[in-house]
């Protein structure tokens, strides 16, 4: 296997792990029986944004995505904190 193929396979493994973690987190949030449904929806949105950011980072590291902005997640964290009152 060439170095490029190995790098690509590792990137796909990381993306798969990120998506599996996102699925698990969203499933856990769906399972919570709480009256604060809006807060759970905000948490779901944030978890999806984090996963997308991580996938962009992985693709950038593999040389397949040039528009990665490391500070993009910081903006989402700030918005999440504002929305949740943290």
pLDDT at 6: 84
pLDDT at 86: 72
- Render pLDDT for 2-48 as a digit per residue (tens, 0 to 9): 787 788 889 999 999 999 999 999 999 888 866 677 788 899 999 99
Distances (CA, A) of 70 to 48, 52, 62, 66, 75: 16, 12, 15, 12, 10
pLDDT at 75: 93
Longest dimension (CA), the chain: 53
Sign of torsion, CA 21 47 41 43? Answer: positive
pLDDT at 4: 73
Which three-class secondary structure state does DSSP give residue 63? coil
pTM exceeds 0.95 for this model: no
pLDDT at 1: 55
């Amino acid at each position: 296997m060439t170095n490029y193929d190995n790098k690509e396979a590792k990137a796909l493994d990381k993306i798969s792990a990120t998506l599996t973690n996102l699925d698990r987190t969203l499933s856990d949030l769906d399972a919570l029986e709480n009256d604060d449904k809006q807060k759970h929806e905000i948490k779901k949105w944030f978890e999806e944004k984090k996963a997308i950011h991580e996938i962009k980072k992985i693709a950038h590291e593999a040389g397949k995505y040039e528009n990665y902005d490391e500070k993009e997640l910081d903006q989402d964290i700030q918005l999440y904190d504002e929305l949740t009152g943290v």
